[in-house]
Structure 1
């Protein structure tokens, strides 16, 4: 085949075919009767080998080395190609995230686009102090900046910068809540944790309600904080989960406070005492001590009766805690 026919069939430009010939990579080896050079079948096969290797990102020099060295080990080169491809994908993903954040701000003019891009770049600065200063220096309405601020808050590893970002999100009201709710389902545990803390910092009824709906979450951290949110809202169905937190020793102080609030302010004394008493019957010693202490803020005779029985508990820590609490109860100056 002459060069024009090869170009037409392969889709490779005549200019590129001539360049391959010039550098000695693929040269036509045949001749027509008229003396014109033409591509033999072997030349065409080599041409497609070249194009295949180039599609993997190899330079022409590397392609020539691979094709001419029969003992060539492709392993190391493939590894380098994989690393370069991963780096390129990371850059593309960062660019995509940035563009999505710009679009989420619904820019009306190029000035809006440039401002959002500047904010995104600033939030990715390598120095945590620089990121914190940027966030604390934001003024005016931040509604147009919610998308980049939310994404930054979900990805921020520095606690001081996280605090500044949560403060900024709280200034936008409930605008960030949908994105934070979506982040609760992230496969990344750190991202889920940041979403929980951000919702708590926003602290609005909608934010806390969103968190409270996650009581069945597979992540124990999310599930525990959701129970605390339900308790803060006065939901009696949070009592079993809160008692479980006390037993586990996870968020136990906050859980005990929430149980006290449910009992004292929301009429859940009976539910709280029954759950605590049931847990006391089979919990290990350290958990039983925490459960006894959790009755400190639970008013009423039902709680008193449980404490009276605990005064005779075989564990000295439980007994001493129960005795001390009874001394502080209204109408009970001393305990046996």
Structure 2
């Protein structure tokens, strides 16, 4: 079979077939009287073998080695190809995200595109100092896009850079809420913690909704941060978690302060009082924290409870309640 017919049937161009011949990869068995390449059935089978291996990403040199060695085992080479392909896909995904970021920023010209790329390089720098500088000094002509900030804050582990990112995200208003809120549903607990910490500083109903979702998180840190932020927004849904924080001793001082602020509403104050008093059957450390929390409730009912606790059988609780009461309120 002549080269033209082989090319037509195999889909491999005559130019590539000649290249295979020059490399010694697929050499035609014979030649015609006129000197044209003539391929036998075995040659054509080898062409298909070469094409199959090329489809897996092997180089022509690797294909030649594989076909030349009858004892060749593909496992190591295939494993290497998998790693290289995964690395290429990772780079391609990074490029895709970079292009999407540029597109989302809607730059007016190439100067804007270059500025976005510069910001991307800065935010992905291995130097924490440079990442922080990129956030704090983005340039007056083009602030860091909220979507880019949201992505960065979910990935940032350095506390100083994370603080700068949250500050910049808060300045961006509600534009970055959607990007950060996606982190609340992450399988990575660190990402969820970063997401809630960032959302806590963002205004609007969308941020509040994300915090409400976080109240059901299995991680106590995520739940606690969400509850503190929701309590500061006057949301009663945070009460149960805040009371649990007092009982467990997790940021109990902050939780008690927020419960006190929520108690400015009389109906809510009664509910909070009931929840706190229901936990007094616990051990001494819990009762001490609950007594301190009661002192934050600005109601006469709370002070009445403190007066009764001043005569409590647990001396530590009694002394604490006495100290928390004003002298004029003592019987």
Kept after mapping to 2: 8 A contact 1:239/1:272:
yes
Name the SS of the counterpart of 1:85 in structure 2: helix
Partner residue, 2:180: 180
Partner residue, 1:56: 56
RMSD over aligned CA atoms reads 2.7
* TM-score, length basis structure 1: 0.87
Partner residue, 2:330: 333
Kept after mapping to 1: 8 A contact 2:295/2:306:
no
- How many Å separate the matches in 2 of 1:211 and 1:251? 21
CA gap of 1:287–1:81, structure 2 versus 1, over 3 A, is farther
CA deviations on 1:307-330 (whole Å, 9 max, x unpaired) are 4554565655444433433x337x
Kept after mapping to 2: 8 A contact 1:224/1:241:
yes
CA gap of 1:45–1:280, structure 2 versus 1, over 3 A, is farther
CA deviations on 1:287-326 (whole Å, 9 max, x unpaired) are 333222211211334323444554565655444433433x
Partner residue, 2:138: 138
Kept after mapping to 2: 8 A contact 1:143/1:175:
no
Kept after mapping to 2: 8 A contact 1:181/1:210:
no
Deviation at 1:181, TM superposition (A): 2.0
Partner residue, 1:286: 285
Partner residue, 2:77: 77
* TM-score, length basis structure 2: 0.88
Partner residue, 1:91: 91
Kept after mapping to 1: 8 A contact 2:196/2:211:
no
Q: Note the residue ranges of structure 2 that are not aligned, 5 or more in a row.
A: none
Deviation at 1:170, TM superposition (A): 2.0
Say yes or no: does 1:249 pair with 2:249. yes
Deviation at 1:98, TM superposition (A): 0.8
- How many Å separate the matches in 2 of 1:151 and 1:268? 37
- How many Å separate the matches in 2 of 1:217 and 1:237? 11
Name the SS of the counterpart of 2:228 in structure 1: helix
Name the SS of the counterpart of 1:297 in structure 2: coil
- How many Å separate the matches in 2 of 1:130 and 1:35? 67
Kept after mapping to 1: 8 A contact 2:200/2:211:
no
Deviation at 1:275, TM superposition (A): 0.4
Partner residue, 1:304: 303
- How many Å separate the matches in 2 of 1:240 and 1:260? 14
Name the SS of the counterpart of 2:145 in structure 1: helix
Equivalence map 1:202-213=2 (5 Å): 202=202, 204-206=203-205, 208-213=207-212
Kept after mapping to 1: 8 A contact 2:166/2:198:
yes
Deviation at 1:17, TM superposition (A): 0.7
Partner residue, 2:119: 119
